[in-house]
């Protein structure tokens, strides 16, 4: 449904090329390896894959360029074809590139390209080389479809597609049962989220009768008077119910409480996959979805509060787990969960721009961290335990430096990207509040600060344990250390640069003004999407604002939604607080781990024994889920099958019926002993029975000469089964004689 400010553009090429690349490698990859030889084959395979993503990247850039340079147009659209339609349901395969999806596409294709390149080095020796690149390409295509979808259904296509690719890539080394199980777990948890997504779609559909984002936005434009708010399903306003369901989908995809446990397990996949899928792109799809539907979410303040709470709790929760983990990838995984929590905290507070900003920055530094860890793991012969590392900075200078930059970024050290993005989120958390959830903002802020402290601590703990001090692994590994290769270092450098300087895209207003008018480029770019005020027609917003008694309140504070006018001093104080917290975390980590695990660290662990155990045991969430959900489901299935299917229906029902029939049959068979006379007696009794029935039934026995036409006409017989239209018997039949009289007569004869 092209809007006035949208123009058509061939967007399909963006996801098409990775898709074709995936197809090529799936179908011909093995063949190439066999025909062209291993070396050349691999070259061809990854050339195709990388070229596909590069093309896609190129098309994205050109599309964004077009978008920037055609004034008065917010978005590019393309309607590929009508996909699913029936009745009034019309689902087109429509693509939409607006400012939000432009950002996402850039991240996906850009970071994706770098990770593809990195994979060439990382997967060098893998026998399933083509399959790997095919999956990676397929993932890129799906992710692009996800962010380019112009309707919820198309987004769902990508949503599921990335889920499948994630499943395939986590279980890439499928011969290891535990890795395959991790993939399965990820897919099933995502599927639980998909249930929410589907229900959300249905609820939106019944309200709008369309799933186009544009149509939903239009329907929302009534503000609190839109049907989303005024009408309810199951007693809950549609907006609230639909967004809650959609958020369930987001928790699945973005690994939030309660569906986060799959993400740490997902580290079973190859490390570049973890970087691309489980850090930079796929897991942020939930954040993207909420931002994409921000006009709907603001109509549901309850959901917004839930999102903010879940985000804040997840951020802290995961961060506390990450503090004690010893697997380099597990630390990063929990860190990712924690950072995603930040993003949800932001969207829960209505800070859409901040959320996306953090999403992008996170994509840079977390991808860099993961790729760096990948390089380390490769170097340490696939040992991932940081207790057995140390001093690697000496052997891997590039990796250690880029890792350090990313650590500084994620910790929120000033001037690095994370500083800007995280700070913006904390600021919003502090300032934004709806009347619905008074005080929630302060709680969220404190959670965020604590998580920030933990983040700084565990990231530098990781850094020091890995790169500083003495090497603690075995001698052999140290000696045969795999050196750095340019194809793996190059992406690291690029990402580190982005992590270091990307934050300048979003310089806070107060700082920007101080320095001399550096704008918040990112906010300005996203304004058409995130500035929700223009989405609502005037009356709707006016109602909400002018009704002071309303406990219904837009999820975003009116004043903030426009340009974030917070007093400069407040903003500066907040910055100082978060910087202090970050530095404190780094300092503590340095104190304890600069030369490997110190005695002090062990002492602390002992002193806070309970806390340490809980954190180290990851709160036993997996065990709890296993015992509370997985086993009961299996047990119920077993009981259903054993008791219901086998016992009740089959044994009692089917076998019972057949057994009864068999028993009766046997009894009756005893009568059929071939004795003709006995048959005849039964026949006789039957005849008596029938005639007695005739005799006893006045209706039938009335058919006598008085009623029967002597000229018996068989053609006049009419079936008497159904009720007749006009009852053929006009008069009541004559009263039957009492049976005693003929009996006496018969006896007399």
Hey, which residues between 657 and 696 contact another protein (CB under 8 A)?
658, 672-681, 684-685, 687-688, 691-692, 694-695
654's tokens:
């089917």
362's tokens:
């996170």
Residues binding another protein: number (CB under 8 A): 123
Hey, which residues between 222 and 251 contact another protein (CB under 8 A)?
222, 224-225, 227, 229-238
- Of 442, 443, 440, 447, whose CA–CA distance to 553 is shortest? 440
Question: Which residue, 623 or 675, is less far from another protein as judged by CB?
Answer: 675
* Residue 329 near residue 271 (C-beta atoms within 8 A): yes
Write the CA distances from 248 to 191, 252, 256, integer angstroms.
10, 6, 9
Stretch that binds another protein, among 164-172, 257-265, 376-384, 402-410 (CB under 8 A): 164-172
Stretch that binds another protein, among 67-75, 278-286, 383-391, 734-742 (CB under 8 A): 734-742
Q: What secondary structure letter does DSSP report for 259? A: S
* Residue 696 near residue 739 (C-beta atoms within 8 A): yes
* Residue 105 near residue 9 (C-beta atoms within 8 A): no
Tell me if 112 contacts another protein by CB under 8 A: no
Q: Taking the complex as a whole, how short is the minimal distance between the CB of residue 287 and another protein, in angstroms?
A: 21
Q: Three-state SS for 434?
A: coil
Tell me if 631 contacts another protein by CB under 8 A: no
Question: Which residue, 387 or 672, is less far from another protein as judged by CB?
Answer: 672
Provide the CB-side half-sphere exposure for 414 (13 A, CA): 12
Tell me if 506 contacts another protein by CB under 8 A: no
Looking up tokens 């309970």 gives 610
Question: Which residue, 516 or 674, is less far from another protein as judged by CB?
Answer: 674
Of residues 20, 106, 188, 527, which one binds another protein by CB under 8 A?
188
Tell me if 177 contacts another protein by CB under 8 A: yes
Of residues 51, 68, 570, 633, which one binds another protein by CB under 8 A?
633
* Residue 77 near residue 6 (C-beta atoms within 8 A): yes
Q: Taking the complex as a whole, how short is the minimal distance between the CB of residue 678 and another protein, in angstroms?
A: 8
Tell me if 202 contacts another protein by CB under 8 A: yes
Stretch that binds another protein, among 186-194, 266-274, 503-511, 606-614 (CB under 8 A): 186-194
In whole angstroms, give the CA distance from residue 182 to residue 261: 10
Question: Which residue, 538 or 603, is less far from another protein as judged by CB?
Answer: 538
Hey, which residues between 352 and 391 contact another protein (CB under 8 A)?
none
Hey, which residues between 527 and 546 contact another protein (CB under 8 A)?
537, 539, 543
Question: Which residue, 51 or 680, is less far from another protein as judged by CB?
Answer: 680
| Cis status of the peptide bond prior to 418, with omega within 30 of 0 | no
Write the CA distances from 169 to 137, 165, 173, 737, integer angstroms.
11, 6, 8, 90
In whole angstroms, give the CA distance from residue 165 to residue 158: 10
Of residues 122, 156, 365, 430, which one binds another protein by CB under 8 A?
156
Tell me if 602 contacts another protein by CB under 8 A: no
Looking up tokens 């949800």 gives 344
Of residues 563, 641, 659, 660, which one binds another protein by CB under 8 A?
641
Residue 528 has a CB neighbour count (10 Å cut-off) of 16
User: Which spans in 123-176 are helix H?
Assistant: 129-148, 152-170
Hey, which residues between 208 and 227 contact another protein (CB under 8 A)?
208-210, 212, 215, 218-219, 221-222, 224-225, 227
Of residues 397, 617, 653, 665, which one binds another protein by CB under 8 A?
653
Tell me if 110 contacts another protein by CB under 8 A: no
Phi (first) and psi of residue 80, to 5 degrees: -70, -60
Tell me if 749 contacts another protein by CB under 8 A: yes
Hey, which residues between 50 and 109 contact another protein (CB under 8 A)?
81-89, 91
Question: Which residue, 539 or 580, is less far from another protein as judged by CB?
Answer: 539
Question: Which residue, 150 or 343, is less far from another protein as judged by CB?
Answer: 150
Tell me if 650 contacts another protein by CB under 8 A: yes
Question: Which residue, 47 or 232, is less far from another protein as judged by CB?
Answer: 232
Of residues 47, 199, 577, 611, which one binds another protein by CB under 8 A?
199
Q: Taking the complex as a whole, how short is the minimal distance between the CB of residue 603 and another protein, in angstroms?
A: 43
Q: Report CA torsion sign: 125, 128, 129, 132.
A: negative
Stretch that binds another protein, among 35-43, 483-491, 565-573, 637-645 (CB under 8 A): 637-645
- Of 398, 380, 381, 340, whose CA–CA distance to 465 is shortest? 380
Q: Taking the complex as a whole, how short is the minimal distance between the CB of residue 515 and another protein, in angstroms?
A: 42
Stretch that binds another protein, among 106-114, 205-213, 440-448, 590-598 (CB under 8 A): 205-213
| Helix pair 328-348, 301-322: axis angle to 10 deg | 160
In whole angstroms, give the CA distance from residue 427 to residue 421: 10
In whole angstroms, give the CA distance from residue 402 to residue 400: 6
Contact track, another protein, 702-731, x by CB under 8 A:
--xx----x-------xx-xxxxx------
Hey, which residues between 15 and 34 contact another protein (CB under 8 A)?
26, 30
Of residues 13, 436, 552, 619, which one binds another protein by CB under 8 A?
552
In whole angstroms, give the CA distance from residue 298 to residue 301: 6
Stretch that binds another protein, among 187-195, 508-516, 564-572, 617-625 (CB under 8 A): 187-195
Q: Taking the complex as a whole, how short is the minimal distance between the CB of residue 527 and another protein, in angstroms?
A: 21
The end-to-end CA distance of the chain, in Å, is: 96
Question: Which residue, 202 or 450, is less far from another protein as judged by CB?
Answer: 202
Hey, which residues between 322 and 341 contact another protein (CB under 8 A)?
none
Looking up tokens 């949503």 gives 159
Q: Taking the complex as a whole, how short is the minimal distance between the CB of residue 173 and another protein, in angstroms?
A: 10
Question: Which residue, 387 or 631, is less far from another protein as judged by CB?
Answer: 631
Question: Which residue, 153 or 319, is less far from another protein as judged by CB?
Answer: 153
- Of 322, 317, 284, 280, whose CA–CA distance to 115 is shortest? 280
Question: Which residue, 236 or 485, is less far from another protein as judged by CB?
Answer: 236
H helix or E strand, kind and range, residue 97: strand 89-97
DSSP string, 71-96: TT--EEEEEEEEEEEETTEEEEEEEE
Q: Three-state SS for 648?
A: helix
Q: Taking the complex as a whole, how short is the minimal distance between the CB of residue 644 and another protein, in angstroms?
A: 8
Q: How do beta strands 75-86 and 236-237 pair?
A: unpaired
Of residues 8, 51, 174, 442, which one binds another protein by CB under 8 A?
174
Question: Which residue, 112 or 222, is less far from another protein as judged by CB?
Answer: 222
Question: Which residue, 72 or 87, is less far from another protein as judged by CB?
Answer: 87
DSSP string, 588-631: HHHHHHBTBS-HHHHHHHHHTHHHHHHHHTGGGHHHHHIIIIIH
In whole angstroms, give the CA distance from residue 303 to residue 298: 9
Hey, which residues between 451 and 480 contact another protein (CB under 8 A)?
none
Q: Taking the complex as a whole, how short is the minimal distance between the CB of residue 684 and another protein, in angstroms?
A: 5
Tell me if 160 contacts another protein by CB under 8 A: yes
Write the CA distances from 592 to 265, 462, 587, 600, integer angstroms.
28, 11, 9, 6
Q: Taking the complex as a whole, how short is the minimal distance between the CB of residue 160 and another protein, in angstroms?
A: 5
Q: How do beta strands 75-86 and 6-8 pair?
A: parallel
In whole angstroms, give the CA distance from residue 473 to residue 390: 8
């Amino acid at each position: 449904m092209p809007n006035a400010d949208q123009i058509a553009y061939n967007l399909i090429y963006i996801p098409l090329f990775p898709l074709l690349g995936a197809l090529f490698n799936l179908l011909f990859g093995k063949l190439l390896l066999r025909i062209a030889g291993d070396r050349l084959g691999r070259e061809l395979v990854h050339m195709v894959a990388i070229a596909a993503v590069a093309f896609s990247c190129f098309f994205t850039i050109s599309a964004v360029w077009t978008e920037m340079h055609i004034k008065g147009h917010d978005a590019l659209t393309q309607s590929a074809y009508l996909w699913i339609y029936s009745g009034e349901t019309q689902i087109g395969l429509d693509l939409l590139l607006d400012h939000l999806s432009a950002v996402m596409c850039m991240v996906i294709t850009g970071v994706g390209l770098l990770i593809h390149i990195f994979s060439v080095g990382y997967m060098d020796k893998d026998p399933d080389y083509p399959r790997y690149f095919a999956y990676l390409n397929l993932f890129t295509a799906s992710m692009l479809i996800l962010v380019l979808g112009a309707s919820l259904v198309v987004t769902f296509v990508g949503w599921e597609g990335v889920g499948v690719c994630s499943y395939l890539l986590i279980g890439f080394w499928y011969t290891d049962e535990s890795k395959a199980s991790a993939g399965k777990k990820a897919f099933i948890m995502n599927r639980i989220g998909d249930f929410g997504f589907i229900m959300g779609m249905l609820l939106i559909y019944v309200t709008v009768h369309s799933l186009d984002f544009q149509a939903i936005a239009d329907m929302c434009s009534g503000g609190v008077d839109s049907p989303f708010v005024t009408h309810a399903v199951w007693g809950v306003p549609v907006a609230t119910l639909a967004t809650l369901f959609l958020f369930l989908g987001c928790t699945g995809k973005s690994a939030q409480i309660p569906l986060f446990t799959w993400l740490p397990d997902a580290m079973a996949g190859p490390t570049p996959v973890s970087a691309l899928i489980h850090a930079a792109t796929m897991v942020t799809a939930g954040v993207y979805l909420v931002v994409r539907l921000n006009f709907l979410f603001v109509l549901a303040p309850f959901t917004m509060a839930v999102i903010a709470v879940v985000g804040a709790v997840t951020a802290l929760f995961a961060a506390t787990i990450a503090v004690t983990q010893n697997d380099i990838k597990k630390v990063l995984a929990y860190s990712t969960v924690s950072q995603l929590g930040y993003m949800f905290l932001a969207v829960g507070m209505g800070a859409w721009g901040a959320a996306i900003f953090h999403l992008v920055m996170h994509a840079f530094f977390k991808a860099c961290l993961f790729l760096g860890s990948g390089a380390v793991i490769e170097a340490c012969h696939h040992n991932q335990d940081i207790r057995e590392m140390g001093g690697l900075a000496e052997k891997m200078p590039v990796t250690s430096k880029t890792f350090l930059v990313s650590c500084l970024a994620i910790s929120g050290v000033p001037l690095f990207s994370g500083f800007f993005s995280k700070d913006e989120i904390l600021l919003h958390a502090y300032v934004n509040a709806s009347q619905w959830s008074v005080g929630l903002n302060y709680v969220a802020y404190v959670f965020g600060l604590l998580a920030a402290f933990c983040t700084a601590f565990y990231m530098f703990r990781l850094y020091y344990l890995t790169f500083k001090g003495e090497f603690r692994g075995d001698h052999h590994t140290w000696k045969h250390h795999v050196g750095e290769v340019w194809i793996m270092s190059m992406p690291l450098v690029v990402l580190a640069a982005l992590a270091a300087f990307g934050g300048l895209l979003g310089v806070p207003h107060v700082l920007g003004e101080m320095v001399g008018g550096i704008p918040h480029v990112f906010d300005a770019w996203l304004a058409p999407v995130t500035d929700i005020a223009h989405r609502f027609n005037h009356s709707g917003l006016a109602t909400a604002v002018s009704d002071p008694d309303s406990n219904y309140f837009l999820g975003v504070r009116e004043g903030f939604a426009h340009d974030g006018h917070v007093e400069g001093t407040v903003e500066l104080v907040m910055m100082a607080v978060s910087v202090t917290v970050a530095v404190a975390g780094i300092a503590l980590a340095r104190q304890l781990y600069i030369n490997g695990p110190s005695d002090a660290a062990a002492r602390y662990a002992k002193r806070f024994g309970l806390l340490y155990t809980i954190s180290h045991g990851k709160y036993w969430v997996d065990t709890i889920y296993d015992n509370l959900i997985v086993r009961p489901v299996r047990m119920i299935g077993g009981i259903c099958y054993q008791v219901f299917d086998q016992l009740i229906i089959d044994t009692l029902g089917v076998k019972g019926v057949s057994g009864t029939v068999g028993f009766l049959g046997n009894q009756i068979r005893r009568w059929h002993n071939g004795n003709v006379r006995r048959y005849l007696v039964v026949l006789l009794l039957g005849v008596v029975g029938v005639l007695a029935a005739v005799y006893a039934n006045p209706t039938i026995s009335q058919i006598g000469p008085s009623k029967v036409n002597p000229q018996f006409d068989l053609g006049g017989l009419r079936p008497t089964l159904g009720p007749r239209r006009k009852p053929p018997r006009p008069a009541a039949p004559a009263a039957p004689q009492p049976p005693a009289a003929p009996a006496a007569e018969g006896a007399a004869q």
